[in-house]
Chain A
Amino acid sequence: MHIPDGLLSLPTLAVTGAASVGGIGTAVKKTKEQLDDHKIPLLGVMGAFIFAAQMINFPVGMGTSGHLIGAFFASILLGPWASALVLSAILIIQSFFFGDGGVLALGANIFNMAVIANFSGYYLYQLFKRNERGYSSSGIVAGGCISVVAAALAAAVEIFLSRRSELMIVLPPMLFWHIIIGIGEGLITLFLISYIAKVRSDLLLQPVVNKEGHHGK
């Protein structure tokens, strides 16, 4: 899902870059307002774990693989704004230190994975009724799947707007592969959240952010 340099046109890079700069600015502001300083180690450890998980490509058949994005997972535990910050940090490190995802395409990758995947999964998940342990299994599978599919849709549109291909040529296979990868995302997220429900149920039962009126419960 990491877009390399060269794939997107200058206008597409400019627009997604501007959107990402705005997104990170808002994420910093909201995280500042909402995050307890006690949760700073959690911010770091979520980033570390998602970085590691993103290295693990799992086969999805026919010579293709996928890996966790993790934005939806982080949004459940930290709220979507802190999650956006976590994913942006990971994408910046991957791009500059490991050559994974273009440096010029960083804005597009942040837009797709830290913003689109993150908020689409998070808001879909809010529609599901949680169980007494603070989560919804079907909601997690649905949220994980939609987060990957929405990011893939965004990538397909960016490739089309860059005139690298026709939308109707790129979109169907992008959706096909990423629905499968998205189910993987949902199942891995469910495994992680059900473990956390056992050891740190407070993270799921308390509101993720500390201000009244912000995504309580």
Chain B
Amino acid sequence: MENSKKFIWIGLASALIVAGIFSPFASSSPDGLERVGEDTGFIEWAQDNIISSLIPDYMVPGIPHEGVATALAGIIGVLLTFIFLYGIGKLITPKSKVKEGSKV
């Protein structure tokens, strides 16, 4: 396989492994902003999102096992992001505007 294509597949596979296998083991401690918000009090202003999201808190609803729900959410997010950006790229980039010697 061509080097550049192989790199894309390796990148996508790594993303799926990180999101689908590692994500359930991520730290659940508050992040820097939440921590400061708790310590100084401004977090009390925080509200739920004005729209209800399909996969709140990176857990696919209806799945009893938290780790599996998180892993699935990660895989969905990775694929969604890839497709979204690939689509935007196709939409805005004119065809074969390629300089010689450049490859991707």
Contacts and interface: CB of A to CB of B under 8 A. Distances in A.
Interface of A: 1-7, 28, 31-32, 35-53, 55-60, 63-67, 85-86, 89-90, 93-100, 102-104, 152, 155, 159, 164-165, 169-170, 173-174, 177-178, 181, 199-200, 202-203, 206, 210
Contact of B27 (A3, A36, A58): A58
Given A41-B5, A174-B36, 15 more contacts: A6-B47, A36-B104, A37-B95, A38-B4, A45-B82, A50-B81, A52-B78, A55-B23, A56-B26, A57-B31, A93-B77, A97-B54, A103-B51, A164-B45, A181-B32
Contact of A45 (B12, B41, B49, B57): B12
B19 interface: yes
A28 B32 CA distance: 31
A89 B92 CA distance: 14
B49 A89 contact: no
Interface of B: 3-5, 7-8, 10-12, 14-16, 18-19, 22-23, 26-33, 35-37, 39-43, 45-58, 70, 73-74, 76-86, 88-90, 92-99, 102-104
Of B7, B27, B33, B41, the most chain A CB neighbours within 10 A belong to B33
Of B14, B32, B70, B81, the most chain A CB neighbours within 10 A belong to B32
Given A37-B95, A48-B82, A210-B99, A64 B104 contact: no
A55 B89 contact: no
Contacts of B29: 57, 59, 63-65
Contacts of A178: 32
B97 A65 contact: no
Nearest to B22: A56
A47 B35 CA distance: 27
Contacts of A49: 11-12, 14-15, 18, 78
A133 B103 CA distance: 18
Nearest to B95: A37
B15 A36 contact: no
Of A60, A63, A97, A174, the most chain B CB neighbours within 10 A belong to A97
Contact of B77 (A28, A43, A51, A210): A51
Contact of A28 (B3, B30, B35, B92): B92
Contact of B47 (A5, A42, A96, A210): A5
A100 B49 CA distance: 9
13 contacts: A4-B49, A36-B104, A43-B85, A43-B88, A48-B11, A57-B31, A65-B29, A94-B77, A98-B57, A99-B55, A102-B50, A169-B40, A199-B10
